[in-house]
């Protein structure tokens, strides 16, 4: 997001003049909170989200812009969204299912020859992981599991693997109060939110507003036009969505060592300044604009495919 979301309004001051005796002086030190102005309302809304540890989020996609909610909690406290129904309805996933049957000798035969090699490789990888796991020390495994359980992970307002996006704050609040099923209902602070939230509270911070609809076009413009803030924040929300909605393909595309991760690291270096910024710009020039835009078009498409728009 290259452009700021809010613009400060400066008030022109007239030359100091002695007030007339009949006119009361205005108190410039009046507290906005006491007068019920917008800053007080904004502060109250922010206090609500901070207290309940949930945040409103705005996401712009090619199909439109919508509001949703996001929370971070230790992994052990969250039950992942159920994607069974979503994956069954996905024709692309169904087409890639491995169909097998037993021949006369009882051996398993892969009917889809195009997937035979992929299936063999994944099976070998699974066996290798099993052998490695059996050789690990049990105490080390326990410590690793504990650390993973304590790590804070993202959860969104979702249901059965679909991200719920609302076109207006009013429709989002109406849903929150409805008692309809969703994945955030497991949060200990959810009931309190449903009782207290108002449409005016749905005011995402600048850092919680993501313009995924602009990413591909920005990348197509070439290195000189790339917007680091836009692209870095897009990567952050894409990783969060991929984890929360269980989209492993996106996680792989943005994983450490991938071309899109290299793009992200180089952009962060340019933002941080100093000597790192110089090397970051050099790294950016080595990243193909077409490759980056195609990769992000895939990511935006996959996210768009799991959105359930609510008016």
pLDDT digits (tens, 9 = 90+) for 114-152: 444 544 454 455 555 555 555 555 555 555 556 667 899
The β-bridge partners of 183 are none
Indicate if the pLDDT at residue 187 is higher than 50.
yes
User: What 3-state class would DSSP assign to 227?
Assistant: coil
Same domain for 77 and 97, yes or no, is: no
Same domain for 132 and 192, yes or no, is: no
Same domain for 219 and 273, yes or no, is: yes
Query: Rounded CA gap, 292 and 219, in Å?
Result: 7
Give residue-wise pLDDT tens across range 265-276.
Answer: 999 988 877 767
Give residue-wise pLDDT tens across range 61-85.
Answer: 999 999 999 999 999 999 999 999 9
Cβ neighbours around 220 below 10 Å, total: 15
Q: How many domains does the chain have?
A: 2
Same domain for 257 and 294, yes or no, is: yes
Same domain for 50 and 112, yes or no, is: no
Q: Which two tokens stand for residue 234?
A: 């897009």
Q: What is the pLDDT of residue 13?
A: 33
Same domain for 159 and 233, yes or no, is: yes
Residue 6 belongs to some domain of the structure: no
pTM of the model: 0.71
Cα dihedral 251→301→187→80 (10° resolution): -50
Residue 26 belongs to some domain of the structure: no
Question: Which residue among 148, 182, 201 closes a domain?
Answer: 148
The β-bridge partners of 211 are 60
Residue 39 belongs to some domain of the structure: no
Give residue-wise pLDDT tens across range 30-46.
Answer: 554 444 444 557 888 89
Same domain for 198 and 301, yes or no, is: yes
Same domain for 135 and 276, yes or no, is: no
Residue 98 belongs to some domain of the structure: yes
pLDDT band at 285; cut points 50, 70, 90: confident
- Give the range of the structural domain holding residue 172, as residue numbers without chain letter: 45-81+154-310
The answer to whether the beta carbons of residues 277 and 269 sit under 8 Å apart is yes
Same domain for 139 and 262, yes or no, is: no
Same domain for 131 and 204, yes or no, is: no
CA angle 50, 56, 61 (to 5 degrees): 155
Residue 21 belongs to some domain of the structure: no
Q: Which two tokens stand for residue 43?
A: 């502060």
Indicate if the pLDDT at residue 279 is higher than 60.
yes
- Where residue 309 falls (left for φ over 0; alpha for ψ -120 to 50; beta otherwise) is beta
Same domain for 259 and 114, yes or no, is: no
Residue 18 belongs to some domain of the structure: no
Q: What is the pLDDT of residue 281?
A: 81
Same domain for 211 and 189, yes or no, is: yes
Buried b (16+ CB within 10 A) or exposed e, 155-170: bbbbbbbbbbbbeebe
Query: Rounded CA gap, 287 and 260, in Å?
Result: 9
């Amino acid at each position: 997001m290259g452009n700021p979301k809010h613009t400060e309004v400066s008030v022109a001051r007239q030359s100091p003049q002695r007030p007339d005796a009949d006119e009361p002086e205005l108190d410039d030190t009046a507290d906005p909170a006491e007068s019920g102005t917008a800053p007080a309302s904004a502060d109250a809304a922010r206090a609500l989200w901070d207290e309940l540890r949930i945040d409103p989020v705005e996401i712009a996609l090619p199909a439109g812009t919508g509001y949703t909610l996001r929370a971070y909690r230790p992994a052990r406290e969250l039950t992942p969204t159920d994607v069974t129904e979503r994956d069954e309805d996905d024709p692309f996933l169904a087409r890639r299912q491995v169909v097998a049957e037993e021949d006369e000798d009882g051996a398993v035969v892969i009917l889809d020859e195009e997937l035979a090699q992929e299936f063999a490789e994944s099976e070998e990888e699974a066996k290798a992981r099993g052998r490695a796991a059996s050789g690990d020390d049990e105490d080390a495994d326990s410590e690793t599991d504990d650390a993973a359980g304590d790590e804070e992970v993202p959860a969104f307002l979702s249901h059965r693997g679909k991200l719920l996006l609302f076109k207006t704050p009013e429709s989002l609040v109406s849903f929150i109060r409805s008692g309809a099923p969703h994945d955030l209902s497991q949060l200990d602070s959810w009931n309190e939110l449903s009782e207290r939230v108002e449409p005016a509270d749905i005011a995402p911070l600048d850092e919680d507003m993501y313009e995924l609809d602009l990413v591909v076009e920005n990348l197509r413009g070439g290195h000189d036009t790339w917007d680091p803030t836009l692209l870095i924040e897009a990567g952050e929300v894409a990783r969060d969505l991929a984890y929360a909605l269980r989209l492993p393909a996106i996680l792989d595309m943005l994983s450490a060592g991938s071309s899109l991760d290299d793009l992200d690291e180089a952009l962060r270096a340019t933002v941080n300044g100093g000597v790192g910024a110089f090397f970051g710009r050099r790294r950016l020039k080595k990243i193909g604009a077409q490759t980056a835009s195609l990769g992000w078009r895939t990511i935006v498409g996959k996210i768009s495919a799991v959105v359930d728009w609510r008016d």
